[in-house]
Chains A and B, each alone.
Chain A
Amino acid sequence: MAAPMLVLDDVRKVYTRGRVIRRPTFTLQANLSLDEPGIVGVVGPNGAGKTTLFEMMTGSNAPTSGRVLVAGTDIHGVKYRERDRLAIHYHQSYQVRRFRKRIPSAFLTPSPTKMPLVHLFDEPQFNLQDGYIGFMLDFFRKLRDEGRLVILCMHPTAAWHLDILADIAERFLFVAGGGVAQIADFRGLVAEPSFRTYLGPEMTRAADALCQGSVAGKFDA
């Protein structure tokens, strides 16, 4: 059987403060496996560690412990210039290739693939008026249909942001409280008490309406 698309194997990132006595200021732990191509929605409050998670997945921020495996290869052991052949980080309108170079590239292994397998979109700028959403969502589906794993980070601040998440994402990662929870579908995400707290009352009502309303048919099918 082929290796899973993306595995975070007991990954732990600790940011510390102080040179002599190191006090942890931030900790993020993740242990998850995304086996198949698909579209995964990532949500969570500001400062929860979504960007750190993305950076670890794309090989630009090394975990304190644990491994990130893309199609079975530890991305942090791959030559810096070739990491984008495994996972790509899209920030707003461009792609970021920024790597903290701890080990000379000569000591690292080449990428086993030519084309990126994991595509991470970090809070793409959706705007209801300009129509690009449609093209962006179709692009995510195209990547998935070509056998890629699409990871879409969103910070829902309007009801239609939830509409997009419900429409496009097949699975979810909820980043909060120093951990990453894997959730099977939109309904499961909305049922999560900490997600409801994060959304606030108004957005929670919109999310409930989405689960009960016309879109619900999609999940019942």
Chain B
Amino acid sequence: MSMLEAAGVHVRFGDRVVLESVDLAVADGEFHGVMGPNGAGKTTFFNVLTGRVKPSRGKVRLGGEDVTGLSPHRIAAKGIARSFQIMTLFDEFSARDNVMMGLPEFRARGLDFVHAVAGDRRFAEQASEALAAVGLVEKGDVRAKDLSYGDRRALEIAVALAQAPRVLCLDEPTSGLGSDGVQRLAALIARLKGKLTIVAIEHDMEFLFSLADRISVIHWGQVVARGTPHELQRNDWVRRSNLGKFA
């Protein structure tokens, strides 16, 4: 059984069809890459998976359970965490506080923040674990806005990891990163691979082709190609392009 499955997802905005019968089945522990030109419908597809856009047709299943059309927080509670193309952090808060706010137990306390932050060491420990996973444990007390761009990207992933998700959705995780930042992120993903089901939209082909188990190419709101990086690179035109050099 697939950990994450989309079946016949269809989204229409006015007179534009953004997604048409998109299917996806991601196995437990698989790293699945999603690529496609700008405006092809990749982010909309992510928004359907994470509950921000309700599809007009089609189903999304997590571990076999139908989660179609649930609100984003319900879907997050069921185990799909995501990062965004544009970063969404609390800038004035420390890295650790940002991560703590992602902890499900912390969120369950609702507005009782004072007790939550002051009282419970457990949260801080869990947050430190998530920070350690992304290599930020020493920067736990640094305010998010004082972190470097690469560290902020890593912190976003730590926030997502703090939710103990079953599926991690990353929207262009390498965007804005320098080459060493991309390498660090690649090393992080390589560590998470196999332990977590990951779906990533990505434009950095070297990153995607070196890490992904399978890749779906979305264009015109449809899956126009799908396969392992090796399978996708068999195409003559792909070999002639920049993608060919990652064979």
Contacts and interface: CB of A to CB of B under 8 A. Distances in A.
A139 interface: yes
Interface of B: 12, 15-18, 20, 36-41, 205, 217, 219-222, 224-225, 232, 235-244
A133 interface: yes
Contacts of A92: 39
Contact of B15 (A90, A96, A125, A137): A96
Contacts of A99: 15
A90 B20 CA distance: 12
Contact of A133 (B20, B220, B222, B237): B237
Contacts of B224: 135-136, 138-139
* Those 7 A-B pairs whose CB atoms lie nearest each other, nearest first: A134-B237, A131-B243, A131-B241, A134-B235, A93-B39, A95-B17, A139-B224
B204 to A, nearest CB: 12
A138 B235 CA distance: 8
B238 A135 contact: yes
Interface in A107-136: 121, 125, 128-136
A205 interface: no
Contacts, number: 82
Interface in A77-108: 84, 90, 92-99
A126 to B, nearest CB: 9
A163 to B, nearest CB: 10
A123 to B, nearest CB: 13
Nearest to A95: B17
A133 B41 CA distance: 17
Q: Which of B16, B40, B222 has the most CB of A within 10 A?
A: B16
Contacts of B219: 93, 132, 135-136, 139
12 contacts: A93-B37, A94-B16, A95-B16, A95-B220, A130-B242, A130-B243, A131-B237, A131-B240, A133-B241, A134-B237, A134-B240, A138-B225
Contacts of A131: 205, 235, 237-238, 240-244
A92 B240 CA distance: 22
